[in-house]
Structure 1
Amino acid sequence: MSLFRSTTTVRSQFRLLEYVDGALTRVLGPGRHRPRRRAEYELVLVADRIETVAPQEVPTSDGVSVRVSAAVRWGVDDPRAFEEATVDASAVVYLAVQVALRDALVGTPAEDAVHLARTGLAEQLTEAARAAGAEVGIGVRSVVIKDVLLPGELRAAYADLVAARTRGLAQLEAARAETAALRSLANGAKLLDEHPALARLRLVQALPPGSTVELG
């Protein structure tokens, strides 16, 4: 880009690369600058941005394909490398995340792959993305897992399994409550057997108001 104005202003989220005869001469930061003759300028956005990695189909050891998508937050740390190292620097990071995702999950059973993706995978992906980004001037701030999807039939099977577990827990709690109630009744009956006076008192308490009791 050639600038013909007497001055140009660079905002905080940009850097301006100055080239003279095709060679980089300066990286201009925020502020007002006076263009040089014969110089060409390239404006580079350095502010952080978020890029979504499309869902990746990862085969597991039990023959199931898990679909995992991620999001990468990154910014430009080295404007010159970002502009000169490759035609599309962000694609380098994008590819690194895809490869790291596949390497981390391939050969793992589907259930373990889902657990790993939701708990411990983001850190591995961030490390891989940072290593790749450093080569092209990109600083990767973080990588997060957005979605982990199983095939529809497996999702239905897991839903049935969760429902069955829930029903089983409910039945177990009901059985425990019934056992506790029976134990309480048994203890009460034993207490009444051992204390006849208490049994008569309990009988009197159970009679309707106005009833009379003949004690033998």
Structure 2
Amino acid sequence: MKPMNAETVVLEEARPVEEELAARLIYDTGSYVFDCLYNRDFDAFLRITSHLWQQDVGAFSHRHARAATYQGGLAGIALGFPQSLYAQEFGTGMATMAEMGSPELLAHLPSVAGHIPWLFPEVPEDAWYLLFLSAHPQARGQGIGEKLLLDCFDRARKAGCVSLHLDVAAVNPAVRFYERMGLERLAETTVPKIAASHGVPPHIRMVKYLVD
């Protein structure tokens, strides 16, 4: 059996399968924000995000993702889209949380939902936004994240975008990976209320310019 690495992993359009694993990979990219939004109810996050992954529309839909697969299984994901879809697709997730959330979650949401967006600066109209990039824990350090990110650069160029934007927690080691891949730090944002209530760290907006 060939070992899992960038050469043996295949990139393909994501499918509405392995939804719980996809949800766990999504969680790994933004655990601080998800813990804040779901009030540290991981089971609720897993249930709702698994559902969102399987849908044909919405910011968390598999339709916006490229999957890195190894022997037919999910080894990583990269989910993103042009800015024109960024605003259009985001409302679906909150609506689903309202439909599927427990009374406790619904009571919690108003206290944080209005503060979380301040972590994330506006995305320019000519930009592509990378919402999630994550490799399976057993696949990390094998070049799979790099392969997914390079593919994102290509997807963004084909969509006619002049830059790729993403947001990442300042304490996330992935910051160094993104810098090594040519992304620049554009801004760093702190929201004091959710930093105090849920320990949400500052987040960095990073950008890769795709035109010379």
TM-score (norm 1): 0.22
For CA contacts below 8 A with separation 6 or more, give which structure has more relative contact order: 2
TM-score (norm 2): 0.22
Q: Indicate the structure with greater strand content.
A: 1
Larger Rg: 1
